[in-house]
Amino acid sequence: MRISISVAHDAWPEGPRGSARQLERVVATADEIGLDTVWVTDHLTRTDLTRTDLTRTDLTRTDPTRTDPTRSPDEAVLEAYATLGLLASRSERVRLGAMASPVGNGAAGPLITAVTTLDVLSGGRAWLGIGAGYADHQAAALGPPAPGAPERFERMEDVLRLAHRMWSGDDSPFRGAHCDLARPYPSPLPLSGPHPPVLIGGNGEARMLPLVARYADACNLLDVPNGGATIRRKLDILAVHCRKIGRPLGDIDTSVSVRLRPQESADELVAHCRHFAGLGIGHVVLVPGGPWTEASTRTLAAALPAVRGLHREEAAGPKAARLDTYRAPAFGGAVPV
């Protein structure tokens, strides 16, 4: 099993002025102890982390990447790809990415170019992490509100199609649902072979999981507190979508974001990861409740050898076969992403 960490831009014990030192320490430790990836969140302001998400479901409990909505909307948030550039300059081995860039934040071409640049400057260690975002996801004074759900998914597929085209060196005209480019100039080409891996963050059965099956190298699911029933269902449905296009589910790095509990011991962390491996998860992304501390880092380092020895359980054939008759709910309204 792989294990990675998420770094919150706003969790700095030394305040914003100490953020660079804190980030440097975290990524250096990740390199030293052998973590897979350091992820950063991609938000432009704190105001896009709150409000109507909580009227739909309590995402502060089910989604550990969501930040405490009681925090001030005026607190500083660092831009994701500038932050990743700093992390790349202070590390040599660990992979780097945003979990996950909402398609409503900008145009497809600049996002792909940012990831490609990160890949080149880091020596081939970049991820493209992408998500649909939420209906209220916006940059507040920095930009317009995100489009509605159908358009967000159309834009997401534009990004995924265009990324694969550009990374293959194809500069022929591209026409998407919301993106027309006469010549998507693919320069520089990424160092990763065949391209930076693509992670899609989200659970949606109607649109998200089919996109994972078709375009992604990895997916990231939510740790819903129901004994793993939701994760099993999502992976079974993903297996159906993969089978329909002739792709093995094992080709996809299945991950889950998990809140690292305060005072959690190394043995407890290993047991937690063993639970996810039994559900079919091959990669755990740990999200702290605050800054990464020496104590939490020691816990992680102590747990790593045992966690690496875990192997995800493959989806059960008969159960997945019964889902071949699965039909996604009609798209429209409040569809989880």
DSSP string, 208-235: HHHHHHHH-SEEEEE--TTTTHHHHHHH
> What is the rounded CA–CA span in Å between residue 255 and residue 127?
14
Residue 5 half-sphere exposure toward CB, CA atoms < 13 A: 27
In a domain, 336, yes or no: no
Point out which residues pair with 198 in neighbouring strands.
Answer: 128
> What is the rounded CA–CA span in Å between residue 308 and residue 305?
5
Task: Write out the two tokens for 214.
Answer: 């078709």
> What is the rounded CA–CA span in Å between residue 306 and residue 302?
8
Q: How many domains does the chain have?
A: 1
The answer to whether 54 and 69 have CB atoms below 8 angstroms apart is yes
For the entire predicted model, the pTM comes to: 0.86
In a domain, 256, yes or no: yes
The pLDDT of residue 38 is 96
Task: Write out the two tokens for 217.
Answer: 């190298």
> What is the rounded CA–CA span in Å between residue 171 and residue 173?
7
> What is the rounded CA–CA span in Å between residue 96 and residue 115?
10
> What is the rounded CA–CA span in Å between residue 137 and residue 270?
34
Helix then strand count (H, E) for the chain reads: 11, 11
The pLDDT of residue 329 is 44
- Name the E strands within 279-326: 283-288
In a domain, 99, yes or no: yes
The pLDDT of residue 140 is 46
CATH number (domain holding residue 273): 3.20.20.30
In a domain, 335, yes or no: no
The pLDDT of residue 200 is 97
Instruction: Calculate Rg over the CA atoms of the chain.
Output: 19
> What is the rounded CA–CA span in Å between residue 91 and residue 8?
18
In a domain, 333, yes or no: no
Reported as type and span, the H/E element at residue 166 is: helix 149-167
Residue pLDDT, tens place only, 102-160: 887 778 999 999 999 999 999 999 999 999 876 554 444 566 666 788 888 999 999 99
In a domain, 268, yes or no: yes
The pLDDT of residue 103 is 86
Reported as type and span, the H/E element at residue 117 is: helix 108-121
The pLDDT of residue 56 is 33
CA distances from 174 to 69, 83, 104, 179, 194 (A): 40, 30, 20, 8, 20
CA 203 to chain centre: 11
In a domain, 222, yes or no: yes
CA distances from 126 to 118, 195, 245, 302, 327 (A): 6, 9, 27, 26, 35
In a domain, 146, yes or no: yes
Task: Write out the two tokens for 196.
Answer: 């930076």
State the maximum Cα–Cα separation within the chain, in Å, rounded to a whole number.
55
The pLDDT of residue 159 is 95
Please tell me whether residue 38 adopts helix, strand or coil conformation: strand
The pLDDT of residue 95 is 98
User: pLDDT tens, position by position, for the chain (337 residues)?
Assistant: 999 999 875 555 666 667 888 899 999 999 999 999 999 988 776 554 443 333 333 333 444 545 455 555 566 678 899 999 999 999 999 999 999 898 877 789 999 999 999 999 999 999 999 998 765 544 445 666 667 888 889 999 999 999 999 999 999 999 998 999 999 988 889 999 899 999 999 888 989 999 999 999 999 998 888 999 999 999 999 999 999 999 999 999 999 999 888 889 999 999 999 999 999 999 999 998 778 888 888 999 999 999 999 999 875 444 544 455 545 444 333 333 3
Looking at residue 123, what DSSP letter applies? T
Sign (positive/negative) of CA torsion 102, 107, 109, 111?
Answer: negative
Residue ranges making up the domain that contains 250: 2-325
Matching residue, tokens 């550009």? 166
